[in-house]
Structure 1
Amino acid sequence: MIAASELILNPDRSVYHLNLKPENIAHDIIFVGDPDRVEKITQLFDLIEFSTQKREFKTQTGIYKGKRLTVISTGIGADNIDIVLNELDALVNINLETRKIKEKLTSLNIVRIGTSGSLQVGIPVDSFVMSKIGLGLDNMLRSYQTDYITIPDLENAFIKHTNWDSDKGRPYAVACSEKLEKHFENPIIFKGITATAGGFYGPQGRILRLVIQDNNLNKKMDSFSYVENNITNLEMETAAIYGLSALLGHHAISLNAIIANRTNGTFSSAPNLAIEKLIDYTLNKIRIL
C-alpha cells in the first residue's frame, strides 16, 4: 500500500496538486504550459463537462466533435512535469481508495502543444516542429531508473560534441511515442531533437547580468546531429514528458509552434496566429486518434 505521505490526496480524495479525481479526465490529454491557453483550446469544444484550477494547473474536460478530451496546463519546467505526469498516472493506475497499484494498467495519450524558438536557420518562424527525440539538460529524470528507455549513444555523442561540463549532470535522451509520431506527422511539420533546458535564461544561453558556464553552447547545439536528426529547438518540458511517459507506459508527442529563430534573431509578427493554427491541426488529428 502506498503511504499517505507519498501519494497525497485532498480531503475530497482528489490528487493533491491537480485537484482531480479519476472521472474528471479523458484518456486523450493535451498539455499546454500557460493556464490561459487552456480556454483557447476548449473554446472550440462542443461542451465542457468539468473545469478546475489549483495554482498553475488548470484542467478542463469536454467534447470536441464527439471526442472526449482533457486539456491541462502544466506551468513551466520539468519539475512541474514531474508533478503532472505522476498525478495523472495515479488517477488511472492506482486505486485511490486502497492505495494499491491496479493489476490492469491504462496508457494515456498525451499531446503537448507548445511554443518554442528554433535553433536551425532552415526552420523559420511560424512553422511547426515535432519532437522526434527529447534531449533533457534538466536532470529531473535522473532521479528515476531510466536505463531501459534512454538513448545512451546519442547522449555520449552530445556530451563529446559540446564538451559538456559533467558538473551540470548527464543529459538524457528519450524518443517520442512511435504510435503518435505516425499519427501526427505531416510533410509540413519539421522533425528532430528538442533540447529541454532547466531554465529560461542561463540554461538557454541568454545573458543578462550573469556570466554563464558556456556561452558557445547554443552554437554547438546548432551543429549537433545524430542519425540525421538535428537539434531543432530549445524549450523546458518535452524531454521530461517523454521520459516519464515512457517510464509509466503512456504515449507522448510534443508539437511546437516556432515563434522565434534564435540563430538569425527573428521573432514571429503574428505568434498567436501560429499557435491557433497548431491548435486546429492538433484537435483535428487527436479527434480521430
Structure 2
Amino acid sequence: MEKHEIAAENSGIRIDKLITDRFSKWSRTLVQQWIKDGHITVNGAAVKSNYKVSAGDSIVINEPDPVPLDIKAENLHLNIVYEDGDVLVVNKPRGMVVHPAPGNYSGTLVNGLLYHCQDLSGINGVMRPGIVHRIDKDTSGLLMVAKNDRAHESLVEQLKNKQTKRRYIAIVAGVIPHDKGTIEAPIGRDPEDRQRMVVTDKNSKDAVTHFQVLERFNNHTVVSCELETGRTHQIRVHMKYIGFPIIGDPKYGPRNKQAFPIDGQALHAELLGFVHPDTADSMTFTAPPPADMEKCVEELRKIDR
C-alpha cells in the first residue's frame, strides 16, 4: 500500500494522469483499471479516473496481486522476425489461433509467446498477454506484440490514429478491372449469423481498405490490400462485397469452389510498419507469402492464362 498527499502545485490534475506521470512504472490504462476496481481511493472514497485532485487530498494506492496466468507455455517454434525489450514481431502461420478462448487453450500464438519470453504486456488481461492486434486463424503473416504496458499503449494509439501500416497479399476469384481502388464500406455483425461480418449501416463501424492489382489471370487476381482501419474480417468482407471473394475462405469465399493447394483463405499479412514505442524510429517488416500460397500463384500462371 502507498499513501500520498497532494501538494498545491498538483491541484487540478486528473488523478489517473498524476499517478501515471509520478510513477512511471504503471501505465495509465492500468491505473484507470485500478481506479475502476477501487484499488485507488481519495480521502478514503472511490473516485473516477477524471477526478481532479485538490491540495491536501490523501491518495491511497493498493497495488493488487498479479493474477496468475493459467495458460500453458508451449514451444511452438515461432518465427520471430524482430525482438527487443519493448516489442516483438512474429510471422504467424496459417492455422494458428492468436489467443486462447473457451475450447481452445493450446497451440495458440499466446502459448508460444509465453514459452519464448516472460515479459509481455498485461493490458489485455491474462488471456491475451502482449497482444496488440489480431489476424484470423487461417490468415498468415506479421503481428506486433508488446512486451510491456507502455509499449502496448503506444502501439494501440498508433493503430487508433492510423499511424501503422498493414499490407496484405490476397488471391481472389474473378478479374478485377481496375488497377487500384478504395473500398469504403461500414462493417458490422451479420444479424442472421453472429460468426460472420457484413457490410451494413446498422450497428457497424467505418471500414476502409485500399487495394492494388499485382497480377491478373483469366479467372483470378492477385491483389495487395492495405488497411486504413482494422475491423474484424475486414479484407475478407470487403473483397466479397465488391464481388471478388478470397479463394479458400470458408466464410466468405466463392460459391463455386475450385481445388487449390491451400487450407484456409489465400490471405497473408506481408508488411507491418510502426513507430518504435521507445526510440521513435520508423520500423518496417516484410514476410513473403507461405509456400502453399506461392504454389497457388504458380499453378494459376500455368492453367489460368
TM-score (norm. length: structure 1): 0.29
Rg larger in 1 or in 2? 2
Question: Whose helix proportion is higher, 1 or 2?
Answer: 1
Answer 1 or 2: higher relative contact order, Cα 8 Å, separation at least 6.
1
TM-score (norm. length: structure 2): 0.28
